[in-house]
Structure 1
């Protein structure tokens, strides 16, 4: 991957800020890593381990994916998503909330799920998975907690491990739950980063994240003959549009290299 490494370095040289990148060829195990253990504000990438904990508790019979929960005005929160726009009293199943949390990065759905499975349980599962830099310390849009220093964090290495585990169904979950997670990730609606320049027919199961000065995207790219784990995290950007361009250009460069 030396040629790819040089091309990505050339892209990074055009932008300000810092970045963490991990690319893994799932067939050969070949890896490209740039600052894999650098810690970043997680933004919505933290929703991937939340989804895993929901599936773990569902598989253990602690919760039911088809249980319905009410969306009240007390839990509706701002930022990304659609639930904040709906009337109070709408009900959604846990399965639907997980789907919205991932494909639309819905913050209301995320906070409801954090309450359902528990922040401590999510962090315990994060630890049990061997993630060294990932932690959930606050709910979505909790600016007071953020001001108090309670930020959510992750790294490209941690996310690469998560997505590789999802791709290989090695999370000690029933096949149905592993397949459900992969299916939801494949239905991602936010496509302004890694898949932006990719052909429409190319499948990528991924999750994005955005904060002021930070743009992230990570997931599993499916190509003829195999798949690649790709994780790109950025922070300290001069402007977010630069992060969008950077990650999109890296996605195109990786795809062109593979092709």
Structure 2
């Protein structure tokens, strides 16, 4: 956890320990797409029929659309807000590996592996793609410092996966975040904001026997951190 101005304090443990990144990798994918769109290298207005996205056994937006088309920007939004794997795969294919690598390098990431993909067939490879809390902080910093990534910040704020750190965080506090999940992995990474200050919060866990219990503990941790931020700024 890192408090931003005016406090600029940090608390961490095992911040350089490598964990399977899982869906946390969707953030640099979408960030790279938005930057490519802003620079004219990718048309985010291109329309796609959601039913043409790759099939998956996991929950997907495809079931919600019949005959409609979505822009690449809308598909990117859904890959973050709902963590839809098929949507994320479409954005990955559109933006390309080189742009994602460039974003990670610009963010200063040293221990985050290339994105293998988000299709059902890629899941074992996804388990082998690692990241660290240090790199996740660098990605958060890049996302919050770039004027071109305002959409991504808005989508992270409206994440529908609110069963971990954000489960007990209520307005006017917000937690703009992305989760990462595998059978023994439960991550949550984001920006916790109160009316007075912001804090980057990164919690990575792996080799868990009961990720549901971990999520419950994270909910308590998130609420506690928000309360402590309020107390700190009140003092």
C-alpha change, 1:154 and 1:93, in structure 2 (3 Å) is: same
Alignment of 1:197 with 2:172, yes or no, is no
C-alpha change, 1:234 and 1:80, in structure 2 (3 Å) is: farther
C-alpha change, 1:225 and 1:123, in structure 2 (3 Å) is: same
Question: 1:68 offset after TM fit, Å?
Answer: 0.9
Alpha-carbon distance in structure 1 between the residues aligned to 2:10 and 2:136: 14
CA contact (8 A) 1:137 1:151 kept: no
Question: 1:74 offset after TM fit, Å?
Answer: 5.9
Q: 1:240 aligns with which of 208, 211, 225?
A: 211
Question: 1:152 offset after TM fit, Å?
Answer: 2.3
Question: Which has the higher relative contact order, 1 or 2, with Cα contacts under 8 A spaced 6 or more apart?
Answer: 1
Instruction: Compare the two structures and name the one with the higher helix fraction.
Output: 2
Question: 1:31 offset after TM fit, Å?
Answer: 0.6
DSSP 3-state at the match of 1:61: coil
Q: TM-score, normalization: structure 1? A: 0.81
Q: 1:127 aligns with which of 99, 105, 119?
A: 105
Alpha-carbon distance in structure 2 between the residues aligned to 1:54 and 1:88: 26
Instruction: Compare the two structures and name the one with the higher strand fraction.
Output: 1
| Alignment deviations for residues 47-84 of structure 1 (CA, whole Å, 9 cap, x no partner) | 1100110011101101122221233456232324322x
Q: Which runs of 5+ in 2 are unaligned?
A: 231-235
| Alignment deviations for residues 180-226 of structure 1 (CA, whole Å, 9 cap, x no partner) | 12111111111111111122442121111111011111111111211
User: Paired residue for 2:192?
Assistant: 221
User: Paired residue for 1:106?
Assistant: 84
Question: 1:108 offset after TM fit, Å?
Answer: 0.8
Q: Which moved more, 1:59-68 or 1:228-237?
A: 59-68
CA contact (8 A) 2:21 2:127 kept: no
User: Paired residue for 1:44?
Assistant: 23
Alignment of 1:212 with 2:183, yes or no, is yes
Question: 1:44 offset after TM fit, Å?
Answer: 0.8
Q: How many positions carry a matched residue from both structures?
A: 229
Q: TM-score, normalization: structure 2? A: 0.89
Alignment of 1:94 with 2:72, yes or no, is yes
Alpha-carbon distance in structure 2 between the residues aligned to 1:190 and 1:150: 20
DSSP 3-state at the match of 1:238: coil
CA contact (8 A) 1:80 1:104 kept: no
C-alpha change, 1:101 and 1:227, in structure 2 (3 Å) is: same
Q: 2:46 aligns with which of 52, 67, 77?
A: 67
Alpha-carbon distance in structure 2 between the residues aligned to 1:31 and 1:91: 45
Cα RMSD of the aligned pairs, angstroms, is 2.0
C-alpha change, 1:187 and 1:122, in structure 2 (3 Å) is: same
CA contact (8 A) 1:123 1:135 kept: no
DSSP 3-state at the match of 1:164: helix
